[in-house]
Amino acid sequence: MNKQLEHEMECMERGTLKYYAKQDKLREKGLFDQTDASNYLLRKAIDNVAEVLQGMSDQRTRGRAGKYRGILKRAAQTVNSSGEIIEDWHAVAFIGIQAVLQSQGPEGKNKLLQVANTIATRLEADLKFKLFEAAHPAYFNAVIKSFEEQAVTQYQHKHRVLTLAFNRFEMNWEDWCNITKFQIGIRVVHAVLEVLSDVFFTNLVYSRGKTHRVIDTSVAGDEWLAEVERNRGAISPLFEPCIEKPVDWEIGRDGNIKGGYHHPRMQ
């Protein structure tokens, strides 16, 4: 085995360990939703969750159920590039899946009531900001541009700034009450859990004299997420310079370009 091949195998091992350490650090910080496995799960599920939500909103119901269905339907509305009002259920699905993933961080964040409230709070804020954009497009765009120029990415900061601007213009808005928030949020949670029933489930736990319903990951779900991470780690080497002459570049029979590094995995 030549020195270059040994060097590449070491790069693969070091890269894999570095990748695992990064994923572990995200979990330790409570950023479960930012791990690669969670991002993969979100991309895999978002179409189906959006479809379930749309089907749920299309059901004809009366009374309070119909009222909450209408509010959820309104929260999904947005304006496309042609100025038409459309329903973007993928945006609602994204918020729902992300909230469920975020709940798997520090202990206590996975309470069903808390997750539902988080989702509804995000949906209500997004709806308010859409109305604000429609009423004051120039000011809204200026705020968004300032976020980009300052490289602001934290949602909490954006939410705080936009909320202050919304209140400054005295926009006509009646805040959702706690019951409305729960009814809206729980519908989104149910859609997420329906699609990802092999990964998440609800469970009853007893804590501090009270019984709470929480969202947990199943054993099969944990194994699946770990497998995704193992596979990603195996293809995350450190791409360091060669210490011997690189392999000549060529197009293989499968049409893929090969060369440079010596080991097939590195190529």
CA distances to 76, 86, 88, 206 from 81, rounded to whole Å, are 16, 10, 13, 50
Please give the residue range of the domain that contains residue 86.
31-220
Count of Cβ atoms closer than 10 Å to residue 179 Cβ: 10
Mean pLDDT of 171-185: 89
Whether 234 is covered by a domain: the verdict is: no
d(CA 266, CA 251): 16
Whether 173 is covered by a domain: the verdict is: yes
> Quick check: 197 pLDDT over 70?
yes
Q: What is the pLDDT of residues 44-79, one digit of tens each?
A: 999 999 999 999 888 777 777 788 888 899 889 887
Q: What domain count does the chain have?
A: 1
d(CA 33, CA 19): 16
Q: What is the pLDDT of residues 13-56, one digit of tens each?
A: 999 999 999 999 988 888 888 999 999 999 999 999 999 999 98
Whether 97 is covered by a domain: the verdict is: yes
- Provide the whole-model pTM: 0.82
Whether 2 is covered by a domain: the verdict is: no
Whether 46 is covered by a domain: the verdict is: yes
Whether 230 is covered by a domain: the verdict is: no
Whether 10 is covered by a domain: the verdict is: no
Whether 235 is covered by a domain: the verdict is: no
d(CA 16, CA 12): 6
d(CA 186, CA 225): 24
Select from 263, 240, 258, 233 the least CA-distant residue to 248: 258
d(CA 259, CA 136): 55
Select from 88, 94, 67 the least CA-distant residue to 188: 94
CATH number at residue 157: 1.10.1320.10
> Quick check: 1 pLDDT over 60?
no
